[in-house]
Amino acid sequence: LFSGQLITINFLVNDLHFYLEIDKFSKLADSAEALAACNMRSDKEVAFLKKKVAIIDQLFLNSHIIPKLQVRCWDTP
C-alpha cells in the first residue's frame, strides 16, 4: 500500500516506462517551443511531435498489443 492505494508491481514498471517517454516528449516539445519563439520551428519538427504523441497513445493509453501496456490511472484529490 502507498498512500492508501494498493500498488501492483506490473503497473509500476509500465508507469515508469510511460513517465520516461512523457519526460522525453516534454523536453522535445519545450525545445520546439523555444525554436518557435525564434521563428525557427519547422513543419518537420511539428510532424515528429505529432507522431510521437500518436505512438505514446497507441503503446500506453490505447494499446491493442497483448498484454496491454496500460498505466495506472491515479486519482487526484
- Better pLDDT: 15 or 77: 15
CA 30 to each of CA 38, 44, 45: distance values in angstroms, whole numbers, following the listed order: 13, 16, 12
C-alpha 28/C-alpha 34 separation (Å) is 10
**pLDDT band for position 77 (50/70/90)?**
very low
C-alpha 57/C-alpha 72 separation (Å) is 14
Q: Which residue has the cell 516506462?
A: 17
User: pTM (2 decimals)?
Assistant: 0.60
What is the model's pLDDT at position 47?
A: 87
Instruction: Note the pLDDT tens digit of each residue in 3-55.
Output: 776 666 767 777 888 889 889 988 888 888 888 888 887 788 888 888 988 88
User: Quick one: CA dihedral 61, 20, 46, 52, positive or negative?
Assistant: negative
**pLDDT band for position 72 (50/70/90)?**
low
